[in-house]
């Protein structure tokens, strides 16, 4: 599988020190050529989903409060291509019929949390902030946490102090973090607080697949200039995350906008905050990041709906505060920041953080979201004195792969500084939450064996792998042809029983060396499970079990964000 290409012409890089001294950091006035949202779009996606003629879809009512079922779940493809990535059971897209029970799982917070907290003067005193009443802040908003495959380090971009400077920290394990001396403003500060009134709202992406090294890092920043309740934003790039290009101005939106790369369609998607049912998100895509500046062309995307229940103790209706996303294996994983209240006025007067929590959504076409579990994936504790009492945020990149686990960086607010000062935006630290790899949803059976039959699928690989937990039970599989007949020798009888708890395990049959004889043909898999949990399956061309799917924000053991290593990366 080849990596995607999205190199763009380089803009002149300049040093921050020189510009800050001379007062020359200004938004570039050159207008970028704009993409039409309807031209040259693929008709059929990697999984055989057929896109509608109008793309992206237009929904006229941004105050719509109902739930829209993704069209690919209503009318799935006749045959699903499963060559890309592990196949997750987060919805019924892959399932023809089953007697197994689907169970969704929340992330588990690390005992060591918080792993990163205010220590420097910038972080403790909010130097450069226009709101000095808030203290002790290390803020993912949105920032970004990615694995840098070149430097073999995790890199975290965050805001040092409320409305403070953009800063970087590095780690080898996501728990122990260092503040490197970047030689710019002050130790690990990249851009000073108040940088053209940037306001601390920066969204940063580490683009490990670009062919242009000057554009390895990409950023959207909020310029903080207001007009009719909208704010100016600019787009930037950088070779090293330290020195950034002049910005291209985007059209206006509310604060707190973000973006992500959709590798399944090779487009950059901008997640823009505007008003719908309260706070909501608008959608814009561009084939080149630096050309995604015409935000006036954005279409209404998604908001919190009536399935996002209000907090009974607060009483405000739910709003969609932000939406980050990343490609994970064969789906787009969405991180929904759901705001439950109270209002800024109430929280400010009470000197406590408002409540936002992190929930998940899944998309197979990059636009429509399936959100079957509305419980918090990472919840605010709501307890005074806790570091993550409220106002939780995720980050750009969403999750990282650490062997058998997925790690989710998040930020929480206590509302209280180390010196006892209290405030709505006071006391922000950063922690980690973990989940089993592919562990968003499991298909489960008890002592009585159950089955799951997939829809017709095609593949080019040779070896069937599963992510399964059944050491006290058993998993077997067989393969059916288009008529529902068992293909010899891939029967349940000849399947070697699986009794393991592994996130990568090969299913084998006696008399069947590999699946080459049925590659390219529509087949169905029938799984039989007892006393266990099945998380995913995939067919790999390699004995290593490499899925050739996407790895979120990356992780050690790999040489890029596509899994071509399998067990060799564990």
231-275 pLDDT tens trace: 688 999 999 999 999 889 988 888 889 999 999 999 999 999 998
| β pairing state of 202-206 and 138-148 | parallel
pLDDT for res 66: 80
Mean pLDDT of 65-89: 95
Q: How confident is the model at residue 546 (pLDDT cuts 50, 70, 90)?
A: very high
Q: Residue 544, SS3?
A: coil
438 closest CA partner among 401, 476, 477? 401
Q: Which residue has the higher pLDDT, 17 or 270?
A: 270
Q: What is the DSSP annotation of 51-96? A: PPSSSS---S-TT--SPPPPHHHHS--SSEE--SS-EE-SSSTTEE
Same domain (yes/no): 480, 401: no
- Region of residue 366 (phi > 0: left; psi between -120 and 50: alpha; otherwise: beta): left
pLDDT for res 24: 29
- Choosing from 436, 470, 498, the residue where a domain stops is 436
pLDDT for res 32: 35
Instruction: Classify residue 33: in a domain, yes or no.
Output: no
Instruction: Classify residue 498: in a domain, yes or no.
Output: yes
pLDDT for res 25: 32
Distance (Å, whole) CA 373 – CA 170: 33
Distance (Å, whole) CA 405 – CA 395: 18
467 closest CA partner among 397, 549, 408, 410? 549
Same domain (yes/no): 376, 341: yes
Q: Containing H/E element for 345?
A: helix 344-350
Tally of helices (H runs) and strands (E runs) in the chain: 4, 34
Distance (Å, whole) CA 565 – CA 215: 26
Same domain (yes/no): 379, 499: no
Q: How confident is the model at residue 314 (pLDDT cuts 50, 70, 90)?
A: confident
569 closest CA partner among 147, 260, 174? 147
- Choosing from 390, 420, 436, the residue where a domain stops is 436
Mean pLDDT of 118-145: 82
Same domain (yes/no): 401, 483: no
Same domain (yes/no): 94, 201: no
Instruction: Classify residue 270: in a domain, yes or no.
Output: yes
Instruction: Classify residue 426: in a domain, yes or no.
Output: yes
Residues of the domain holding 268: 113-436
% the chain with pLDDT above 90:
78
pTM: 0.91
Distance (Å, whole) CA 343 – CA 509: 60
Q: Residues 254, 259, 265, CA angle at the centre, nearest 5°?
A: 135
Q: How confident is the model at residue 14 (pLDDT cuts 50, 70, 90)?
A: very low
Instruction: Classify residue 36: in a domain, yes or no.
Output: no
Q: The CATH number of the domain where 481 resides is what?
A: 2.60.120
Same domain (yes/no): 162, 226: yes
**Those residues with Cβ within 8 angstroms of residue 9's Cβ, 6 or more apart along the chain or in another chain:** none
Same domain (yes/no): 398, 322: yes
Distance (Å, whole) CA 343 – CA 339: 10
Q: How confident is the model at residue 37 (pLDDT cuts 50, 70, 90)?
A: very low
Same domain (yes/no): 427, 470: no
Helices (H), 206-287: none
Same domain (yes/no): 204, 150: yes
Same domain (yes/no): 367, 512: no
pLDDT for res 315: 78
pLDDT over threshold 70, residue 15: no
Distance (Å, whole) CA 399 – CA 405: 10
Lowest mean pLDDT of 47-61, 142-156, 524-538, name the range. 47-61
Q: How far apart are the first and last CA of the chain?
A: 21
| Number of domain units in the chain | 2
Q: Residue 291, SS3?
A: helix
- Residues pairing with 443 in the sheet: 102, 534
Q: The CATH number of the domain where 231 resides is what?
A: 2.115.10.20
Same domain (yes/no): 201, 153: yes
Instruction: Classify residue 38: in a domain, yes or no.
Output: no
pLDDT over threshold 80, residue 291: yes
pLDDT for res 113: 98
pLDDT over threshold 80, residue 167: yes
Mean pLDDT of 381-399: 97
Instruction: Classify residue 67: in a domain, yes or no.
Output: no
Q: What is the pLDDT of residues 438-468, one digit of tens each?
A: 999 999 999 999 999 999 999 999 999 999 9
% the chain with pLDDT above 70:
88
The mean predicted confidence, pLDDT, of the chain is: 89
Distance (Å, whole) CA 277 – CA 289: 28
Mean pLDDT of 102-110: 98
Ordered strands of the 331-341 beta sheet:
355-363, 331-341, 319-329, 550-551
Same domain (yes/no): 319, 201: yes
pLDDT for res 201: 77
Q: How confident is the model at residue 330 (pLDDT cuts 50, 70, 90)?
A: very high
pLDDT for res 33: 35
Instruction: Classify residue 5: in a domain, yes or no.
Output: no
pLDDT over threshold 80, residue 27: no
504 contacts 567 by C-beta, under 8 angstroms: yes
- Choosing from 388, 412, 436, the residue where a domain stops is 436
Lowest mean pLDDT of 45-49, 159-163, 347-351, name the range. 159-163
């Amino acid at each position: 599988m080849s990596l995607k290409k999205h190199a763009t012409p380089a803009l002149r890089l300049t040093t921050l020190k020189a510009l800050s001294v001379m007062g020359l950091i200004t938004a570039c006035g050159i207008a970028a050529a704009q993409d039409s949202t309807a031209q040259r779009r693929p008709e059929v996606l990697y999984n055989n989903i057929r896109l509608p003629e109008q793309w992206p879809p237009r929904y006229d009512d941004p105050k719509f409060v109902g739930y829209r079922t993704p069209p690919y779940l209503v009318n799935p493809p006749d045959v699903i291509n499963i060559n890309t990535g592990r196949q997750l059971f987060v919805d019924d897209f892959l399932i023809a019929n089953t007697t197994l029970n689907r169970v969704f799982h929340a992330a588990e917070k690390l005992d060591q949390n918080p792993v990163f907290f205010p220590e420097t003067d910038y972080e403790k005193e909010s130097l450069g902030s226009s709101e000095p009443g808030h203290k002790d802040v290390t803020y993912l908003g949105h920032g970004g946490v990615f694995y840098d495959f070149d430097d073999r380090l995790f890199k975290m971009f965050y805001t040092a102090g409320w409305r403070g400077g953009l800063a970087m920290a590095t780690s080898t394990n996501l728990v122990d973090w260092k503040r490197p001396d970047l030689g710019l403003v002050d130790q690990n500060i990249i851009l000073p607080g108040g940088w053209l009134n940037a306001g601390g709202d920066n969204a940063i992406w580490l683009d490990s697949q670009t062919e242009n090294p000057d554009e390895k890092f990409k950023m959207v920043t909020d310029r903080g200039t207001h007009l009719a309740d909208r704010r100016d934003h600019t787009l930037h790039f950088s070779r090293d995350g330290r020195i950034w290009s002049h910005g291209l101005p985007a059209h206006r939106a509310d604060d707190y906008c973000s973006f992500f790369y959709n590798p399944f369609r090779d487009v950059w998607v901008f997640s823009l905050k505007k008003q719908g049912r309260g706070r909501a998100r608008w959608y814009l895509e561009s084939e080149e990041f630096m050309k995604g500046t015409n935000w006036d062309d954005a279409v209404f995307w998604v908001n919190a709906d009536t399935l996002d229940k209000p907090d009974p103790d607060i009483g405000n209706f739910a709003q969609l505060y932000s939406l980050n996303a990343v490609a994970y294996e064969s789906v787009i994983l969405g991180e929904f920041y759901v705001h439950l209240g109270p209002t800024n006025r109430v929280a400010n007067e009470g000197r406590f953080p408002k409540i936002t929590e992190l929930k998940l959504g899944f998309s197979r076409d990059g636009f429509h979201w399936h959100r079957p579990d509305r419980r918090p994936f990472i919840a605010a504790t709501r307890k005074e004195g806790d570091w993550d009492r409220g106002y939780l945020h995720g980050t750009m990149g969403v999750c990282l792969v650490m062997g058998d686990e997925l790690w989710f960086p998040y930020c929480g607010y206590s509302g209280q500084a180390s010196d006892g000062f209290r405030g709505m935006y006071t006391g922000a630290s950063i922690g980690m939450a973990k989940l089993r790899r592919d562990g968003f949803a499991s298909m489960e059976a008890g002592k009585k064996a159950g089955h799951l039959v997939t829809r017709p699928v095609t593949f080019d690989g040779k070896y069937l792998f599963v992510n399964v937990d059944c050491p006290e039970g058993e998993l077997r599989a067989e393969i059916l042809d288009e008529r529902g007949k068992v293909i010899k020798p891939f029967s349940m009888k000849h399947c070697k029983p699986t009794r393991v708890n592994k996130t990568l395990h090969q299913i084998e049959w006696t008399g069947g060396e590999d699946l080459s004889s049925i590659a390219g043909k529509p087949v169905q898999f029938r799984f039989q499970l007892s006393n266990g949990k099945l998380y995913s399956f995939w067919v790999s061309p390699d004995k290593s079990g490499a899925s050739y799917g996407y790895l979120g924000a990356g992780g050690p053991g790999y040489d890029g964000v596509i899994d071509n290593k399998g067990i060799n990366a564990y």
